[in-house]
């Protein structure tokens, strides 16, 4: 892949995060909708790209790996890689270097919020139930 023209598409800003729905501001399209969106994106991309890399940024979207794997099995002319960004060895090593007990919602998953807020990442309480 290196040395070849590469297109980086815009990020898909929504995914399956219903487990966070109680927090104000959460927008989740659910697994069924995410599956449908990915199938259509892959189908469209595959009309002109024979290699596709999907970079996942949320653990709740991990079942979408199955979507990519199944599509690739049915369309062997297109190679698809589904990658959870946090599982890259150097990324995880740096997170553990910063926080030895790093896990979900630690510095490596909340750090993108740092530039837009001086508040700790856990400062937003759940909104009251209706």
**What is the tens place of the pLDDT at every residue in 58-70?**
888 999 999 999 9
Q: What is the mean pLDDT of the chain?
A: 81
Distance CA 98, CA 82 (A): 26
CA distance 37 to 40: 5
pLDDT band per the 50, 70, 90 thresholds, residue 108? low
Domain residue spans of the chain: 15-87, 88-119
């Amino acid at each position: 892949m290196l040395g070849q023209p590469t297109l980086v598409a815009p990020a898909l800003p929504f995914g399956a995060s219903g487990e966070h729905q109680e927090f104000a501001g959460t927008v989740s399209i659910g697994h069924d909708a995410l599956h449908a969106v990915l199938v259509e994106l892959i189908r469209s991309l595959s009309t002109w790209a024979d290699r596709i890399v999907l970079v996942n940024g949320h653990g709740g979207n991990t079942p979408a790996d199955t979507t990519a794997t199944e599509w690739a099995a049915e369309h062997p002319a297109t190679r698809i890689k589904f990658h959870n960004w946090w599982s890259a060895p150097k990324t995880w090593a740096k997170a553990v270097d910063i926080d030895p007990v790093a896990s979900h919602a630690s510095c490596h998953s909340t750090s993108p919020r740092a530039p837009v807020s001086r508040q700790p990442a856990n400062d937003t309480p759940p909104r009251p139930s209706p």
